[in-house]
Amino acid sequence: MEVVFAYKGYTGKYLRVDLTRGKIVELPLREEWARYYIGGSGMAARILYDEVTPEVEPLSPENLLIFATGPITGTVYPPSGRYCVVTRSPLTGIWGESHSGGYFGPELKYAGYDLVVIQGRSEKPVYLAIDEGRAELRSAEGLWGRTTAETTDMIEEEFGDPSVRVACIGKAGERLVKFACIINDRARAAGRTGVGAVMGSKRLKAVAVRGSGDIEVADFDRTWELAEEAHERYTRGEWGKASHDALYRFGTPGLVAWENEIGRLPTKGHSTGVFEHADDIGPDRFEREFIVHRRSCMNCRIQCKKVSHVRSGPYAGTLSEGPEYETIVALGSNCLVSDFPAIMRANLLCNLHGMDTISCGGTVSFAMECFERGVLTEQELGMPLRWGDGDAMVRLVEMVASREGIGDVLAEGVREAARRIGKGSERWAIHVKGLEVSGQDGRAHQSVGLTHAISVIGGAHLRALSSLDELDYRETIAKRYGEEKAKDIGDRLSTKYKGMLIKDVEDLYAVVDSLITCKYGTMWPPAFYFDDYARILPAVTGIREFSRVEEVRAAAERIVNLKRAFNARLGLDRKDDTLPERFLKEPMPDGPAKGMVVDLKPMLDEYYAERGWDIETGLQYRETLEGLGLVDVAEDLAKYGRVAFKKRP
Amino acid sequence: MPYVFCDLEKCTGCRTCELVCSGVHEKVFNPKKSRIRVVRREPAIDVALTCRQCADPPCMRACPSGAIRRTKAGVVEVDVARCIGCSLCVEACPFGAISIIEGKAAKCDLCGGDPACVRLCMPEALRLIEPGQVAAEKRLAIAQAVRPRSLLR
């Protein structure tokens, strides 16, 4: 008998796939997961915390690889095209999470499932085919070694249908490059934390989904009304115009010009925030010479995707979606490379071989600094590797994907590469908790220093980046936090109230990452907030409790605390919530933030206090966890000695 | 007769139209129950296709049960009470604009004159326009590309 799930928006079913035994089981979704963790990365957090205990190594068969959607995914409420992948990261050894857009997430729900939880290791390469509520493992021996584009083509051919949605790895994932990603819909990446390497370790080449199932919502008319209202907000008025003129027109590359202006464009291994040749990799040139088509993820109103084409020069014929801002920084300014076509070629290679462009670029820039400082020689590298050499950058990207020569060391990520190379190179290995730092600089935008330091996955922006101070949205700040704090919060170079600010933003993103919707609309423009989600969540799911903003906020805090607990159990605490010395000790040499370093301590203290965590150790208070209903987690952490007590015995 | 026109230069393939259409007509979200469908071809083509409200509709001629008719307003519509779900209309339509949904032929009915897909198309690729207007815009585009000799001197 078909069991009907209590809440709408969800399919109410998920898959457990055991690759070791070749078994697939369909299970009903648990109601309390929806009620307490919403969906997406929140739901996945509950599963990962329960099952992936500290002795489970990231690349062992026991580690889980979870594909997750949320209740909004695949509905009409924009944007609804996203999914996430959650695992214990092989790059950082801690909480691993990566999100991606495109069409794969919604299709998984149309095919009948909210989540796919994968464990084990197949003897031979396989792929998981989920077709109209039927799932099976198929041989991927003919796919192994293929690029993500070839893999997608071949699976489409096998299905006889170009509308099947494929998420797959390239050779980087197969060869366990620690920052390998998963590529879906040919050019969308679940990029960060090496989720592709976990997939490779399981010998799972791809997940292909196709479905024609309905997604029902609890209150259709209300959902429709809110979707129309959201459409208006995304496309009209002040935010709509700003978004159209920036993200629709240029995509994320539009940011290159602005970040350079505020001195926050990571350049030359994060040594500075100003790039002399920013115009060469900037939005005007991008539009004038390279954009051939504008694209979007499923049901989006921002539509930031661009197809770019290099028409002449050594990289002529390079045709791909992207590159995104983060890619242009990582493989461009941060390597001092102003050769835009070379960046596009490297972006295409990263997509074809399945590598995170942020970590890959961070690794290339680390190697360049090693060469310039005489720590890696031309012999060791197989070529000279000067700052700004786009051709060498492209060559090195290939070497990393294939683990060829020095690429084998660099494929471990900068933290481990620096450990192996030695000679003081850890000083310019720019990472937090083992994750290469994304395209921001806390010296020019203090709160982003805190964002990077506390991010649960390591040096990343998407768990807690604030644009409120980045662009000084004074009115929004005043509305959310009070007029009296608005001036300080709006000041990028001030640390005042930034602990509170980043805690609030991190909570907001915990909801966004669980619904799942996009950071565009919340991160920028900051048009959607908790009250919006307290309207759409009950309309879609029928979970009445979520009509109270405090309940949505409580779910957010619960999710943030659960992920934090996963890391705490692995031994992480305040000592790990820090930044590379480059941000803390080397003053910004140029631009509007000249002379600044990140003043992390006051922000971190305030952040812990706001969170209800122990300021001294960064560990969670037992009372904080219990107050959020995480009693079992508090008990578990106590067993590991990883919880703080307010009153010491 | 106006129809939902898709500007190839503007369509981004976001498939909002599909979700909106399934919502309006079926009260669920399911692109495969949409009367408008988006086709993507790599590397750089996206296009939404739906009924063109033909002047001499092949689907209407093919229908053996007289279920496809033109309304007074000119919209080509399916009478679901008469439809036997035989798919002859699907075969007859040169544009793939008809689907069988739950045993009945389903096609664009222009939402009674204010198509939701058009209203919610972010890049404004979809418009409800008359063929005459399409032609007029093409003429204008050509005229704009021609540079008067007097300006060249």
CB pairs under 8 A between A and B: 82
Tokens 């009915």 found at: B109
Please list, in sequence order, all residues whose beta carbon lies within 8 angstroms of the beta carbon of residue A241, skipping any fewer than 6 positions away.
none
CB A109 within 8 A of CB A260: no
Contact at 8 Å (CB) between A71 and A536?
A: no
* Confidence grade of residue B93 (pLDDT, cut at 50, 70, 90): very high
DSSP string, A143-162: TTT--HHHHHHHHHHHHT-T
Of A148, A462, A80, nearest to A296 (Cα)? Answer: A80
Does position B152 have pLDDT exceeding 80, yes or no? no
Give yes or no for a contact between A122 and A106, defined as CB atoms under 8 angstroms apart.
no
Distance CA A624, CA A5 (A): 31
Question: pLDDT band for position A272 (50/70/90)?
Answer: very high
In the predicted model, is pLDDT for residue A399 greater than 60? yes
Q: Per the CB < 8 Å rule, is B46 touching A235?
A: no
pLDDT tens digits, A515-533: 999 999 999 999 999 999 9
- Banded pLDDT at A647 (limits 50, 70, 90): low
Within 8 A of A131 by CB-CB distance, chain B residues are none
A92-101 pLDDT tens trace: 999 999 999 9
Identify whether the C-beta of residue A533 lies closer than 8 Å to the C-beta of residue A523.
no
The reply to whether residue B33 touches residue A214, judged by beta carbons under 8 angstroms, is yes
Q: Is A333 helix (H, G, I), strand (E, B) or coil?
A: helix
Please give the domain boundaries of chain A with CATH numbers for all domains: 13-210 (3.60.9.10), 248-429 (1.10.569.10), 446-615 (1.10.599.10)
Distance of alpha carbon A573 from alpha carbon A619, whole angstroms: 6
Q: Which residue of B has its CA nearest to A232?
A: B120
The rounded distance, in Å, linking the Cα atoms of A439 and A362 is 10
| Confidence check on the interface: ipTM exceeds 0.85, yes or no | yes
* Rounded Cα–Cα distance for residues A216 and A226 (Å): 15
Give the mean model confidence (pLDDT) for residues B18-27: 98
User: Rounded to an integer, what distance in angstroms lies between the CA atom of residue A200 and that of residue A168?
Assistant: 10
Using a CB–CB cutoff of 8 Å, tell me whether B145 touches chain A.
no
> In the prediction, which pLDDT does B144 show?
87
Which one of B8, B17, B27, B29 makes the best mutation probe of the A interface by having the most chain A beta carbons within 10 Å? B29
Tens of pLDDT, residue by residue over A333-389, are 999 999 999 999 999 999 999 999 999 999 999 999 999 999 999 999 999 999 999
B38, containing H or E segment: strand B37-41
pLDDT at A648: 55
How confident is residue A631, by pLDDT bands cut at 50, 70 and 90? very high
Domain annotation for chain B: domains and CATH numbers: 3-128 (3.30.70.20)
What's the mean pLDDT when you consider all of chain B?
95
The per-residue pLDDT of chain A, averaged, comes to 97
Q: Does A292 touch chain B (CB under 8 A)?
A: yes
Do the chains contact at A212 and B32, CB–CB below 8 Å? yes
Checking if the pLDDT of B153 tops 60, the result is: no
